[in-house]
Amino acid sequence: MRFRDLNRKLLLSGNEAIALGAYEASVRVATAYPGTPSTEILEALTQYEDIYTEWSVNEKVALEVSLGASIGGVRAMSSMKHVGLNVAADPLFTAAYTGIRGGLVIVTADDPEMHSSQNAQDNRNYAPFARVPMLEPSDPQEAKEFTKLAFSISETFDIPVLVRTTTRLSHVSGIVIPSSRRQRPRVRPSIERMPQKFVMLPVHARQRRQALEDRLSRLREFSETFKGHRIHRGSREIGIITSGVSYNYVMEALPEASVLKLGLIYPLPETLIRRFASRVRRLYVVEELDPYLETQIKAMGIDCTGKEIIPSQGELNPAKVRSAITGKNRKVFPSVEVPKRPPVLCPGCPHRGIFYAISRLGVFVSGDIGCYTLAALPPLRAMDTCVCMGASIGMGFGIEKGLGRKAHGKVVSVIGESTFIHSGITHIVNMVYNGSTSTVVILDNRVTAMTGHQPNPVTGLTAKGEPTVELDLEALLRGIGVEHVHVINPHDIEDAYRVLKRELKRKALSVVISKAPCALLPEVRKAKRPAYEVISEECRGCRACLKIGCPAIWWVPEDNKKKGKARIQAYLCNGCGECEALCRFGAIVVSDAR
């Protein structure tokens, strides 16, 4: 698709460029769990027949599969969003000790502005923490080149390599020149038994720890002459050390300054930094989020200015950099008050009905992450927590154990099916084992919707769209010892309400599977259910249908603004019928029925 050649130049996003780099580096195995802004890396790799790609069930699984492939002597890559690396941190830290056979690259995609994330952790800190080298490209062309370099560094130094991107690289498109040849890996695929390298018993681990220090000191030397560092010789007045996307903002805001742009940000090239620092009068460090470079540069005994003036929250941009360093601001045009436009659940979304039913129960909702987190916003307001994937179930159970009888029937945990498979299953095992009387709702919309419709084990399709075994959630739950499992249709709000009310009273663990496909799935769209309409003469303007917050139902105020009527926009209506059941006056009907 987008990899087609227009005059040998491609317009690629950072993510697509990383995928192209991995392809040019002859990667054999690529694994990922979706997560903004990393998702398109694996999506782009599925187009290559000779690369095995998978949506793993979580990031730890993804990295372990890649590590295995590497131990087999082939090149492997895992990509994930920043918080995904927390999940994969366990194998990462020890893989630094064991090292690799085939090149092993891990891409971490950070989201400093939290466009689509629950926190803004700075994953550069993982590099020194895990003792793994890290490359940080600044634009799509470099993203491709650095990905290839990452594979060769990995094989040269026998170590996994991290590549870090941020939203403003992953989702920025720029011009990329593809290479005509693919790299040849240094290792050949084979099964080799190397227990001293790969069995991390304490005796071996201590040896490998020493070996890791030796590898790191060779990497420090390598970093001094690494061709991905770049120096712009400008004025001697101002010198800037920077890396990644911040480099672009510096180049635009301060075209006269001298700039040292670091490409390999762990380990840092100390001599190069010293030499650069000695040539300029005032030295600044420009980086988003944590003072990652600044702290290390100051530890070298070099005087520099960084976070005293550069914001440590959110993304930077040229204006912020210029204003921090020169104090100059451009004239700002006046702002205008506009109603906020938050994202909403789509028309026909199966999450709407179940959350409306839950909102009527007046319970505490221990929530999780996915499209359904939008149910926390008005008008549904049906979620009370959202921390990290899988946490809903454990937190709900914690409230139950903490408050005992006081909490019974007052808490429900809600989790999407992809999130449940990612890290919810172990919680149910824990609850069966430790005795729970909680109620858990699994929102099974047949697909990982929020990140753009990736298939998952219940979808019955692989990453490449090939048919596979469909995970049977009901059988799974029964198999791990849940006695009370109920499957309901969330579009039937009354039934959902009845079942939930009954299960909340039950003095035993019960799991309700709320099952209906995402409204955006092709099979739902093709079904073309007839739209609904409001018979204007019958509408009393009671606003009951507005409570579910469907974007297809519009309130049309009459002249005095207090009164009005509801109207359904046929071109937006998906025909789910939830609103019909909410109207006590029979004013909402299928369009064709008249």
Partner 1 sequence: MPDEIKNILFCGVGGQGILLCSEVVAYALMQEGYDIKKSEVHGMAQRGGAVEAYLRYGSRVYSPLVEPGSVDFVVGLELMEPLRYTSLYSEKTKVILNTQKVPTIGISTGIETYPENPVGTLRGLGLEVYPVDAFEICTELGEPRAVNMVMVGALSWFLPVKVRTVEEVIRWRLPEKLHRVNLRAFREGRRALRK
Give dist(CA 358, CA 501) in Å, integer: 9
Kindly indicate which of the ranges 136-144, 316-324, 441-449, 582-590 contains the residues binding ligand TPP, using the contact rule CB under 6 A: 441-449
Does 418 bind ligand TPP (CB under 6 A)? Our answer is yes
Single out the residue of 23, 33, 247, 276 in contact with ligand TPP (rule: CB under 6 A): 33
Write down the least CB distance from residue 539 to partner 1, Å: 13
Write down the least CB distance from residue 545 to partner 1, Å: 10
The CB density around residue 388, as the number of other CB atoms within 10 Å, is: 15
Contact 165, 109 (CB under 8 A): yes
Query: Which H helix or E strand runs over 350?
Result: helix 350-361
Does 416 bind ligand TPP (CB under 6 A)? Our answer is yes
Q: How many residues bind ligand TPP (CB under 6 A)?
A: 23
Q: Convert residues 359-378 into a mask of x (bound to ligand TPP by CB under 6 A) and - (unbound).
A: ----------xxxx------
Q: Which residues, 6 or more positions from 297, have their beta carbon under 8 angstroms from its beta carbon?
A: 241, 268, 273, 277, 285, 304
Write down the least CB distance from residue 79 to ligand TPP, Å: 11
Nearer to ligand TPP, 101 or 515 (CB): 515
Nearer to partner 1, 19 or 513 (CB): 19
Nearer to partner 1, 115 or 275 (CB): 115
Single out the residue of 16, 136, 145, 417 in contact with ligand TPP (rule: CB under 6 A): 417
Give dist(CA 586, CA 560) in Å, integer: 25
Q: Position 476: which residue type?
A: L
CA distances from 72 to 29, 68, 361 (A): 11, 6, 54
Three-state SS at 115:
coil
Write down the least CB distance from residue 349 to ligand TPP, Å: 8
Q: Which does 249 bind (CB under 5 to 8 A by kind): ligand TPP, partner 1, none?
A: partner 1
Q: Which does 339 bind (CB under 5 to 8 A by kind): partner 1, ligand TPP, none?
A: partner 1
Write down the least CB distance from residue 553 to ligand TPP, Å: 21
Single out the residue of 56, 166, 167, 419 in contact with ligand TPP (rule: CB under 6 A): 419
Single out the residue of 132, 450, 482, 531 in contact with ligand TPP (rule: CB under 6 A): 450
Give dist(CA 108, CA 63) in Å, integer: 12
CA distances from 560 to 166, 420, 542, 566, 568 (A): 50, 49, 16, 15, 21
Nearer to ligand TPP, 34 or 137 (CB): 34
Write down the least CB distance from residue 39 to partner 1, Å: 7
Q: Which does 84 bind (CB under 5 to 8 A by kind): ligand TPP, partner 1, none?
A: ligand TPP
Write down the least CB distance from residue 579 to partner 1, Å: 12
Does 34 bind ligand TPP (CB under 6 A)? Our answer is yes
Residue-wise burial string across 405-424, b where 16 or more C-beta atoms lie within 10 A, e elsewhere? eebbbebbbbbbbbbbbbbb
The CB density around residue 105, as the number of other CB atoms within 10 Å, is: 31
Sign for the CA dihedral angle at 481, 483, 489, 491 comes to: negative
Radius of gyration of the chain (CA): 27
Nearer to partner 1, 465 or 479 (CB): 465
Nearer to partner 1, 197 or 446 (CB): 446
Write down the least CB distance from residue 396 to partner 1, Å: 23
Nearer to partner 1, 312 or 569 (CB): 569
Helix runs in 72-163, H state only: 82-87, 89-98, 126-130, 140-157
Q: Which residues, 6 or more positions from 164, have their beta carbon under 8 angstroms from its beta carbon?
A: 107, 108, 109, 110, 123, 124, 134, 135, 136, 244, 265
Q: Convert residues 56-95 into a mask of x (bound to ligand TPP by CB under 6 A) and - (unbound).
A: ---x---------------------x-xx--x--------
Q: Which does 107 bind (CB under 5 to 8 A by kind): ligand TPP, partner 1, none?
A: none
Sheet order of strands, 230-232 included: 230-232, 257-262, 235-243, 282-286
Does 35 bind ligand TPP (CB under 6 A)? Our answer is yes
Q: Which does 33 bind (CB under 5 to 8 A by kind): ligand TPP, partner 1, none?
A: ligand TPP
Give dist(CA 32, CA 13) in Å, integer: 18
Does 449 bind ligand TPP (CB under 6 A)? Our answer is yes
The CB density around residue 50, as the number of other CB atoms within 10 Å, is: 8
Write down the least CB distance from residue 122 to ligand TPP, Å: 16
What residues make contact with partner 1 under the rule CB under 8 A?
Answer: 4, 6-7, 9, 11, 36-37, 39-40, 115-116, 139, 167-168, 171-175, 245, 247-249, 251-252, 255, 315, 317-319, 330-336, 338-346, 371, 374, 378-379, 450-452, 543, 546, 549, 551, 553-555, 557, 561, 564, 571
Write down the least CB distance from residue 404 to ligand TPP, Å: 30
Write down the least CB distance from residue 377 to ligand TPP, Å: 15
265 backbone dihedrals φ, ψ, rounded to 5° = -100, 0
Nearer to ligand TPP, 324 or 358 (CB): 358
Give dist(CA 532, CA 351) in Å, integer: 19
CA angle 313, 135, 98 (to 5 degrees): 115
List the structure tokens of 309.
């003036």
> Residue 471 has what DSSP assignment?
P
- Beta strands at 257-262 and 230-232: parallel, antiparallel or unpaired: antiparallel
Q: Which does 435 bind (CB under 5 to 8 A by kind): partner 1, ligand TPP, none?
A: none
Q: For residue 188, which of 77, 101, 99 has the smallest C-alpha distance?
A: 101
Using CB atoms within 10 A of its CB, is residue 544 exposed (0-12), middle (13-18) or buried (19+)?
A: middle
Give dist(CA 324, CA 309) in Å, integer: 6
Nearer to ligand TPP, 33 or 284 (CB): 33
Give dist(CA 253, CA 473) in Å, integer: 54
Write down the least CB distance from residue 296 to partner 1, Å: 25
Kindly indicate which of the ranges 5-13, 138-146, 190-198, 410-418 contains the residues binding ligand TPP, using the contact rule CB under 6 A: 410-418
Write down the least CB distance from residue 117 to ligand TPP, Å: 7
Which residues make up the interface to ligand TPP (CB under 6 A)? 33-35, 59, 81, 83-84, 87, 369-372, 389, 416-419, 443, 445, 448-451
